[in-house]
Amino acid sequence: MRRLSAEKNSERVMQVQVETFVDDGGVEKIRRFYLNGRQVEVVENLDQWHGADYRYFKVRGGEGDVYILYLDVHRTQWALYQRSQSPGSRAAL
Q: What is the pLDDT along the chain (93 residues), one digit of tens a residue?
A: 555 555 444 456 789 999 999 999 999 999 999 999 999 999 999 999 999 999 999 999 999 999 999 999 998 999 999 999 877 666 555
Query: What is the Cα gyration radius of the chain?
Result: 13
Query: CA end-to-end span of the chain, whole Å?
Result: 24
pLDDT, tens digit, 9 for 90 and up, residues 36-51: 999 999 999 999 999 9
Dihedral angle of Cα 24, 52, 10, 34, to the nearest 10 degrees? 10
Distance in angstroms (rounded) separating the CA atoms of residues 23 and 27: 5
